[in-house]
Chains A and B, each alone.
Chain A
Amino acid sequence: MPFKRYVEIGRIALVNYGKDYGKLVVIVDVIDQNRALVDAPDMVRGQMNFKRLTLTDIKIDIKRVPNKKTLIAAMEAADVKSKWENSSWGRKLIVQKKRASLNDFDRFKVMLAKIKKAGVVRQELAKLKKETA
């Protein structure tokens, strides 16, 4: 029941609204009750309302408002990218993006693969059923 993810300097958050939708940003300072100063390697440092951010489990070790170079170095040291891509949340987002970008031909190939997999599973199940019956 207690909170586990806190807004703190170095907390990685996912932007869930606006121009930078879907990006991972670092909270580098808190402006007031509602806004934070956020930064990411590929964007200009700027303010964002907390309502536009969803906190993640990842935290990096930085001082208040580091310069870009230090920020990037800290992110590399903490290996944010691979931690994110290996987390279940990160993997889900990657799958969603892949599915959205599928071509009509790709969707057809996926359908064939699903049918094949289901066939194999059903065969195994039939085999097991026969053994126990």
Chain B
Amino acid sequence: MYHKRGLWAIKAKNGGTFPKHEKKAAEAAPAEKPPKFYPADDVKKPLVNKRKARPTKLRASITPGTVLIILAGRFKGKRVVFLKQLTSGLLLVTGPFKINGVPLRRVNQSYVIATSTKVDISGVNVEKFDDKYFGKKVEKKKKKGEGEFFEAEKEEKNTLPQDKKDDQKTVDAALIASIEAVPDLKSYLGARFSLKAGMKPHELVF
């Protein structure tokens, strides 16, 4: 074993002895007081879990600017442009709104087909959008005044705040410019996808 592992060569390289490193001085362990209370039965320690939460792995076919086909929900069949993946793992997507009525929206990767068509997305700034932007607005609870007050509040809730509309417009402005550069792409995004007779999804190239 000595010759097989080449220990003679290591010794020769280091002048006759094996290389040693100094032992680290043992750190003084903090003085522990004996515990006041010992549980009657042995308490089981939970197993160590080193997993970290990270966003869902993004399919290689989905890159910023890809045209996606949404498969479920009120926008099923719509072809939309992918912007970025949010920290929750959901995909940020926009119609653009003017072309097919899909606003800035989050969509789950599992409910989407990625096509191989890409749109140039370089002019678009999506830094400000994150999951909090899309969260439900928490309203302050008003316990006083039921009846009339309640009805008045409910009617006001349903309009979109103007800043969200402006965000949509700024994102779409740059996008629509690059979409109109490609012939037929605008009408493509405006049309819905559907399976026709003879189309076999497992044989289709998207």
Bound Cα distance from A80 to B206, whole angstroms: 34
B115 touches A108 (CB 8 A): no
Instruction: Tell me the smallest distance from the CB of A96 to a CB of chain B, in Å.
Output: 12
Q: Residues of B contacting A108 with CB < 8 Å?
A: 184, 187-188, 191
B193 within 8 A of A: yes
B67 within 8 A of A: yes
A104 touches B206 (CB 8 A): yes
Pick from A100, A101, A103, A112: contact of B117, CB under 8 Å:
A103
Bound Cα distance from A113 to B37, whole angstroms: 83
A103 touches B188 (CB 8 A): no
> At the interface, is chain B mostly helix, strand, loop or mixed?
mixed
Q: Residues of B contacting A101 with CB < 8 Å?
A: 205
Q: Which of A101, A108, A112 has the most CB of B within 10 A?
A: A108
Interface size class of B (residues with CB under 8 A): 10 to 19
Q: Which of A102, A105, A109 has the most CB of B within 10 A?
A: A105
- Per-residue 0/1 for B173-198: is the Cβ within 8 Å of any A Cβ (1 yes, 0 no)? 00000000000110110010100000
Instruction: Tell me the smallest distance from the CB of A30 to a CB of chain B, in Å.
Output: 36
Given contacts A103-B116, A104-B69, contact A112 B187 (CB under 8 A): yes
In the complex formed, the residue of B with least CB distance to A99 is: B205
Pick from B115, B203, B204: contact of A105, CB under 8 Å:
B115
Bound Cα distance from A102 to B199, whole angstroms: 12
A104 touches B115 (CB 8 A): yes
Bound Cα distance from A98 to B204, whole angstroms: 12
Bound Cα distance from A109 to B191, whole angstroms: 12
- Per-residue 0/1 for A84-118: is the Cβ within 8 Å of any B Cβ (1 yes, 0 no)? 00000000000000001111110011001000000
Question: Which A residues contact B (CB, under 8 angstroms)?
Answer: 100-105, 108-109, 112
Residue pairs across A and B with Cβ atoms less than 8 A apart, 27 shown, are A100-B203, A100-B205, A101-B205, A102-B205, A103-B115, A103-B116, A103-B117, A103-B205, A103-B206, A104-B67, A104-B69, A104-B79, A104-B115, A104-B117, A104-B193, A105-B115, A105-B117, A105-B184, A105-B185, A105-B188, A108-B184, A108-B188, A108-B191, A109-B184, A109-B188, A112-B184, A112-B187
